[in-house]
Chain A
Amino acid sequence: MTPRTPTSSRDVGRRCFLVGGGATLAIGLTTPLSRVLARESVEGRALYLGGRGDGGDRFWLTGFDDTGAARFDIAMPGRPHGIAVRPDSAESVAFARRPGTFAVVFDAAAGVETGRFEAAEGRHFYGHGLFTADGRHLLTPENDYGRGRSVIGLRDAADGYRQVGELQVEGVGPHDLRLMPDGKTLAVAVGGIRTHPESGRAKLNLETMDPALSVMEIESGRTLDSFRLASRYHKLSIRHLDVTAEGRVAVAMQYEGGKGDCVPLAALFDGGGLRPLAVPDALERRMRQYAGSVAFDRGGRYLAVTCPRGNLVVIWDAADGALLYEVPFADVCGIAPAMQDGGFILTGAAGHIARFDVAPGRLADLPPHGTGGWDNHLIASSG
Chain B
Amino acid sequence: MILRVCAALTLFAVLAGSQAWAHGSTEYEALNIALVDDVVMPGYAGHATATADFAEAMQGFCAGTRSGVEATVVAQYHAAMDAWQRIRPIAMGPILQGTGIARIEFWPDKRGTGARQIRLALQAEDPALLASAGLESKSVALGDLKALEYLFFPEDGGVAVPGSYRCSLAATIADRQAAIARELLVAWTGEDGFRTKIVTAARGNDAFFDAAEASADYLKNLAGLLDEIVVEKLERPLGKDLAQARPTRAESWRSRRSLRDIAANLETARALYATPGAFRNLLAAEGLEPLADGMLRQFDEAIAMAGGIGMPLHDAVADSVAREKLETLIELLRSLRVLVAGPLADRTGLTIGFNARDGD
B141 adjacent to A198 (CB under 8 Å): yes
Complex: how many Å from CA A55 to CA B340?
Answer: 11
Q: Does B49 touch A at the CB level, under 8 Å?
A: no
A28 adjacent to B11 (CB under 8 Å): no
Known: A56-B337, A290-B356. A24 touches B98 (CB 8 A): no
Per DSSP, are chain A's interface residues mostly helix, strand or loop, or mixed? loop
B359 adjacent to A26 (CB under 8 Å): no
B100 adjacent to A356 (CB under 8 Å): no
Question: Contact check: which of B2, B7, B101, B102 meets A24 at CB < 8 Å?
Answer: B2
B206 adjacent to A373 (CB under 8 Å): no
CB distance from B350 to the nearest CB of A (A): 12
Q: Does B282 touch A at the CB level, under 8 Å?
A: no
Q: How does the 8 Å CB contact mask read for B331-360 relative to A, with 1 for contact and 0 for none?
A: 000100110010000000001011110111
A333 adjacent to B355 (CB under 8 Å): yes
A30 adjacent to B8 (CB under 8 Å): yes
Q: Does A331 touch B at the CB level, under 8 Å?
A: yes
- Among A110-118, A156-164, A220-228, A358-366, the stretch that binds chain B is A358-366
- Among B227-235, B250-258, B285-293, B319-327, the stretch that binds chain A is B227-235
- Among B12-20, B37-45, B165-173, B267-275, the stretch that binds chain A is B12-20
Complex: how many Å from CA A161 to CA B43?
Answer: 49
B230 adjacent to A56 (CB under 8 Å): yes
Look across to chain B and name the residue whose beta carbon is closest to the beta carbon of A283.
B2
Known: A200-B100, A259-B209. A27 touches B7 (CB 8 A): no
Look across to chain A and name the residue whose beta carbon is closest to the beta carbon of B203.
A17
Complex: how many Å from CA A127 to CA B355?
Answer: 14
Look across to chain B and name the residue whose beta carbon is closest to the beta carbon of A288.
B209
Known: A349-B15, A349-B353. A327 touches B5 (CB 8 A): yes
Q: Does B153 touch A at the CB level, under 8 Å?
A: no
Look across to chain B and name the residue whose beta carbon is closest to the beta carbon of A206.
B97
Total A-B Cβ pairs within 8 A: 176
Look across to chain B and name the residue whose beta carbon is closest to the beta carbon of A258.
B206
Question: Contact check: which of B8, B99, B205, B338 meets A198 at CB < 8 Å?
Answer: B99
Look across to chain B and name the residue whose beta carbon is closest to the beta carbon of A330.
B15
CB distance from A342 to the nearest CB of B (A): 14
Question: Contact check: which of A16, A30, A199, A362 meets B99 at CB < 8 Å?
Answer: A199
Known: A260-B204, A288-B209. A329 touches B341 (CB 8 A): no
CB neighbours (8 Å) of B113 from chain A are 198
A259 adjacent to B355 (CB under 8 Å): no
Q: Does B128 touch A at the CB level, under 8 Å?
A: no
Q: Which residues A1-38 have CB closer than 8 A to chain B?
A: 1-2, 16-17, 22, 24-30
CB neighbours (8 Å) of B9 from chain A are 30, 352, 354, 365
Q: Does B131 touch A at the CB level, under 8 Å?
A: no
A98 adjacent to B100 (CB under 8 Å): no
CB distance from B203 to the nearest CB of A (A): 7
B351 adjacent to A260 (CB under 8 Å): no
A56 adjacent to B334 (CB under 8 Å): yes
Look across to chain B and name the residue whose beta carbon is closest to the beta carbon of A19.
B204
Question: Contact check: which of B5, B15, B99, B139 meets A26 at CB < 8 Å?
Answer: B5
9 CB contacts below 8 A, A to B, read A24-B2, A260-B204, A283-B2, A290-B359, A328-B4, A328-B5, A331-B351, A349-B15, A349-B354
Seed contacts A56-B334, A292-B359, A363-B5; 15 additional CB < 8 Å A-B pairs? A25-B2, A53-B354, A175-B360, A199-B140, A201-B358, A311-B15, A328-B17, A331-B351, A331-B354, A331-B356, A333-B354, A352-B9, A352-B12, A362-B5, A376-B360
Chain B interface residues toward A at CB < 8 A: 1-9, 11-12, 14-17, 96-103, 106, 113, 139-141, 203-209, 227, 230-231, 235, 334, 337-338, 341, 351, 353-356, 358-360
Give the top 7 A-B pairs by smallest Cβ distance, nearest first: A373-B354, A202-B100, A328-B16, A258-B206, A24-B4, A17-B204, A333-B355
